[in-house]
Amino acid sequence: MDILFDTANLDDIERLTPIYPVTGVTTNPSILKAEGKIDFYAHFRQIRSIIGPNRTLHVQVLSKETQGMVDEAHRLLDKIDANVYPKIPLTEAGLHAMRILKSEGVKVTATAIYSKTQGFLAIASGVDYLAPYYNRMQSIDINTRETIEALAGFIKRFDAPSKIMAASFKNIAQVSHALQSGADAVTLSPQLLQQALSAPDIITAVDRFLDDWEEIHGTTELPFE
């Protein structure tokens, strides 16, 4: 199972990567907007130095044209590092760019997936990850769980190398539903995980254990001997 941070915030990545079992970082231009006018390539090199060589780093291209997407993907690989996964929106131009990049052996993440059609085209093109937008699909009344199940079924049936990396989450229930439906990976804001672990019931349970111990032993530590 892959859990990725959908953020470009250096402080959060640095502080939370050792705590949570994350396997990578994803961003898009809207996520980058939250960081202000960053020094783009230097920022991603810094993210890479924090997460290390074994986690995956997914960075989106901006161009809407095939050649522009291919050129930008090459620039990402050149200026950040050769292991970056260029994120390419699955438009017609994007599909063409993905096929060119895959023929060159580049790892690709297909993004902006709202439908099974986009999904099976990404799978048939041999992309490494495809990113269905969970909350955005649900907001326009698309059955997101059924879409992920169908895509996971295609991957299994055709023995395809692609992995489903569900994205666009607004609550933690959506994240577990995506995983239950067959997503291999989920990318989410670290704050969603932090909120989930600070639920009042969890805090109360932990406090009550401590109160019960202290009531009998007069201390909140285990004995040393």
Ligand X SMILES: O=C[C@H](O)COP(=O)(O)O
Q: Does 91 bind ligand X (CB under 6 A)?
A: no
Scan residues 29-68 and list those touching ligand X (CB under 6 A).
30
Beta strands in the chain (DSSP E): 2-6, 24-26, 56-60, 85-89, 109-113, 129-132, 163-166, 185-188
Contact of 101 with 84, CB cutoff 8 Å: no
Minimum CB separation of residue 27 from ligand X in Å reads 7
Residue 138 or 213 having the CB closest to ligand X: 138
Pick from 44, 85, 120, 133 the residue near ligand X by CB under 6 A.
133
Structure tokens at 168: 């666009």
Best CA proximity match to 88, nearest among 123, 54, 129: 129
Minimum CB separation of residue 111 from ligand X in Å reads 6
Distance set, CA 204 to CA 173, 193, 208, 222, 224 (Å): 21, 18, 6, 20, 26
Pick from 96, 100, 136, 172 the residue near ligand X by CB under 6 A.
136
Q: Mind telling me the catalytic residues?
A: 87
Q: Does 144 bind ligand X (CB under 6 A)?
A: no
Q: Does 168 bind ligand X (CB under 6 A)?
A: yes
Binding site for ligand X (CB under 6 A): 6, 28, 30, 111, 133, 135-136, 167-168, 187
